[in-house]
Structure formats: C-alpha cells, structure tokens
Structure 1
Amino acid sequence: MRSFGSDNHAGAHPKILASLQQANVDHAPAYGTDDWSARAEKAFQTLFGTKAESFFVFNGTAANVLALRACLKPYETVLCAEVSHLNVDECGAPEFFTGAKLQPLPHDQGLLSIETLKAALIRRGDQHFSQARAVSLTQPTEYGTCYSLAQIREICVWAKREGLFVHIDGARLANAVVSLKTTFQEMLTEAGADVVSFGGTKNGLVFGEAVVFLNPKLAEGFKYVRKQSAQLPSKTRFVAAQFLAYLEGDLWREIAEHALAQARELREGLTGLDGVEITRPTESNAVFAKLPQPWIKRLREHYFFYVWDEKTFECRLMTSWDTRPDDIRGLIRHIKELCV
C-alpha cells in the first residue's frame, strides 16, 4: 500500500543505498575518525559556513535533546510551540536528558511570534520559576508552515539580546530552504541561529541525523555528551556516507523539490472538491484538509494517512522523495468518487 502518512514511510533513496555499498569497502577507523566523516564535516561547512561543527546521532529525538542539552542548565527552560514535536512527540526525552523544562507557548499555524516569546519572559529572575535559556523553532513546523527569513532573523536578534540560544528543529529543513528559495547559510547562520537538528531520515536516508553547531562555543565537550547519551555510532562512516550522498551534488535539493511539487499538485487537486476543506497553507511537503468522517475508512483501503484532529477530522497528507504522480492522481480520483 502507498502511504501519505509520513515521509518516514518512504524507503531509502537509491543514491543513499549506493553510498552505503561504497562505504562497505575495506576497513576504516571507528567512531568518526574515518575519511567519510571528515568529508561529511566539510560538506556541512559548505552549507552552513566554515565555523559549523557537526555530530552524527541515530535519530531526531536524540538530535533535538542533545542539541538542547548543550544549551541548558537543569533549572532552565526551552520556549517552544505547544504543537512542536519536541513538546508532543518525544515522550519527555527533553526533560529526562537535560533536566530542564519545556515551556510550550501558543502559536499561529505552528509558528511562534516575537510577541509571544517576549511575554514568556515575564518571570525572568524569579527564583521560583524555571529560567528561559533557549528558543526552539521547528522549520518547517508540524503544520507544514515555514518561518520567513525575516521572522527567523527577528527572533534570533531578540534572543541574542535576551541571552537566549536559538535551536532549530530541522527534521525537514531542506524542504524549507527550497520552499523559501534561500540557502541554509542565509536562513540560519547569517540570521544568528546557534544549533540545528539536521534531518536525514525523513529525507531519503536509511537512518541518521546530525547536530550542527553554528555557535562553536556550544560544541565544546559535545563529543562527551553524545557518548554518554549512547548516540556515538561505532561504524560512523555508514551515517557519514549517507549524508555525503545527500549533501554533495545537491541530492537534498532534488528530493525536497520533488516532495514540494507533489504536495502542491495534491493541494491543487483537492481544492474546490465538495466535502473537502483545505485547512492550512502548503509551504512544505504537507497538505492538511478536513474530510467527511465516512470517507476516511474507505480511503484508507487504498492509501494510509493520519487523522490529525479526531474531532474535526482534519487529516495530514505527506509527500516524500518517492511520491509518484500516479499516487496523487489515484488519491484524488478516489476522493472524487466519494464526492458523487
């Protein structure tokens, strides 16, 4: 069965699989001291600037949690959107591994406003209240929306003035870069972000994410934090090789452009259909739409997708690197049949 459930449901891109085979030749030093890892470090510096330092971990939760651990003391807190993956879908891992607290805030389509962030500092200096030390922005958000370059820059400037670090949850970061027609360096490094959770698994890799420090001071001692947290791969070259294939030659751009194009085709095909209500902007590879409840079970006989809101039957339809035009046409055809 084909799936619109998540880009996690897609398999690995053929070029990524080929990179694993290429790395599986002869012997190589372990724990990130191999040539593949050194080349991957340079590839990240090409994207983010020469001061960037990157560390591989196994999954996105680890990337988020350990990136924040580098920023926080146990009595401090992270300002984040109520709907953020960090707050909703990481099983308390941020609190467990950092000892710090999340402070979830109201949002608009997943986006935090500068006004909301400013209001969250009202108890600054109060010894009874966890003290804000970091802001976590998801780019793109859980609703598929993107912070503009101006919004990111404004938040980073404010955060720096207030002594806060800025963390970017970038599980789908490449999609935002393509959608906004920008670069990683312009969007984040030049804006003043401090650390990025850089996604691979949702973008065609078999597994693996990277913690990319744009603020070198935060990277001090991080190799020990990663090891202590059981996130240091022994055969690191097999993670590094995937990222090399993903970053070199702009495979990341090809994958993101395809997923975005398919999402826009899907949105266009659903727009105006009786019984279908598009609920959110399509700024990345996610389309949100309300569907009549009786349709959902019948549609799921052909394509899997998630019901995002069980009360309103708002559904999330995700595209990926391997979403085919036939998948889009097929889903739209089945929905049109239910419209009759």
Structure 2
Amino acid sequence: MYTQLERGQIKIAFTRVQSEKVIGGYYERSGGVSNHKTNLNSKYIPLFKQIIRGGGRPEIDVYWSPLVPNGGGYVCADDENTLSAYNDLGFKLIPCRILKPKNLKAQEGAIWAEKADQDIALAKTVPPILEKYSSFFGNKFPDFSTVINRLKRECGETRKVIISFHQDFGTGSHYHQMLHTLIVRHERVLDSILRLVVLNRVEHASALTRIAYEAFLNFYIDWLSPEFFGPRLQLLARVRGAQASSDRSLDSHLSVLGNFVDFLENTHHKARISPLGLYFHESIYPELSLVAHQSYRHLEYEAEGFNESDPGPLSSTTQLGRWLDILTAELLIRVRNDVGAIPHISSS
C-alpha cells in the first residue's frame, strides 16, 4: 500500500476517527480464520505521549481491513504506539490518514488527497453524517446575557484545561498555543457581542457572529489534521497578508498549495464538511452576510422619517443566542478532545 501511495496510485483521506473504531495491529487469514497480529512496543508510548502533550499531533495511518471480525474495520498496523498514546491521554477522536479510503459514513468530515506531479492535490471532500447539534442549553431558551455568560465561562474553563494539559517539549510555537489563542479570541468575540446587544446594537453583534462562525470553519479544517493543514493555512495567510500590502514576492508559493487554495478560501466548501453542515450554514450565513456587506435593506429600515434614534433590533437575540450556543459547543468539544477532557454537552 505504501508503494502504491508513493507512486500516486492510491488516495489518502485526512480526518478524525473515533478511538474505539481503530484497532491497533492488523489481521492475517490462516486456515480460514482471521488472526490478530501486533507490533506494539510499550516502551515507546511515553515518548509519543510527550510529543502530544508538547503540542504535536501526529496522524496515524489506518486502512480498512475486511478481516476484522463482524464485518471489517479500521486497523493501525504501523502507528500502534502513537494510537496507544492517544488512547492513554483520553482522545476520543484521533487524527488519521486513511490509506485507500472508502465512502463510509463517519462522524467527522474527511478531505481526500492524491498525488499530482510532485505535489499533493485535493481529490474530494466527504461531509460527516449530521444527526444532531451539540448545545449547552438544549431546548431551553434563557435570556441572551445568561447564554453568553455561560459560554464565556466554558471558554475560560477550556483555556485552563489546555494550559494544564501542555507540557513543554522544546518545540517552540506549537498547536496548544493555537488552541489557546483560538479560545481567547472566541471568548473575546462573545464578550463584544454581549456588550453590543446590551447597547441594542444587534446588527453589529450579528456581524461579529459571522466572524466567530468563519473562525470555526477554519479551525475545523486545521483540527482534522493539524500537521498537514496547519502549515498550509499559515502559508496561505502569509501570502494573502503580503498581497494586501501590495507585496507580490510570495505569490509563487501558492503553487505548493495547488487546488487546496480554492477550498481553503471558500466558505461554502468548508461549511459542507464541517460538523455544523450546510443546513446550519444556509440558515446563518446569508443573513449575517447581508449585515456584513451592508445590504440596503438595513439602510431602508432606518430611512423613513429622518429618524436619528436607534431603530431597535433587526434580528432576534434568541436566534442569535441559539446559533452561538451551538457554535461554541461544537468548537469546545473538539478543542477539549485534544486535551483529553471533553465536556458534558447536550444535543439538540
């Protein structure tokens, strides 16, 4: 399989797989019976735990084996020590590189890649199976300030868990710093949204909600495979930042990203594979985009009678609270998965 991969004859899929669905080792058939084989060497597990707690997120290579009892399953023949380290640290969703992926229903989205000349290219994306949304409040509808203050507290607790989980491994800038900063920025946006709603500036609060949503979509791509997508997101940001300053010297670096550029910059494509899905996207994004792009609908709403006072809310704060509840819950579940401490969260 690795020979086929090197020759560009098979695809791979970057995703997260539930820990209980990955079997360490592999199976061989002998005399009509499937026998489990393993190369696990427990003396190396502490090293991989140290790498993970130091901010590394090595993906494990897995493949589908029909020899697994009860209909087949994913096996990890070459990264058993890493798999065991993730399991020991309490990870429920493990970053995986699936060799020769199949179109199987899965909890998380998957991004398929293939060899293109000397680089790697996007082959296709597979959305997750969406059955329900995570939520801190379920079907309850408390007032807006109660919702936001609870979400801010959950963010604060998550920041503490990240810091507690991290153990310096001398890696310099690392994934845990990114997670911590992500939560700091999300908590800051929640605080700004609440302050604007208190001032009856719901229109402005809606624009910030779009910022929080797009930040989540970018995070999710990175989270699926931090050591593959993280550097690519950083490179893309560096090139676009230079272009914004009229510096075109980095443009040639975009060729390394190939056809990943369109995917990484297209909100609809990213929404399709996110755990929020297209239904959530189509419910929230068009309305928030009208605000961000300053649709004349809002101008006309205030235009009559030369009114200079605040017109009042243009959208429902209850709906805004529901969106932010779901968005924050889906974010924190995945962040806290990566520090071995998934919070208790309802579903709706």
Q: TM (normalized to structure 1)?
A: 0.22
| TM-score normalised by the chain length of structure 2 | 0.22
Q: Which has the higher helix share?
A: 2
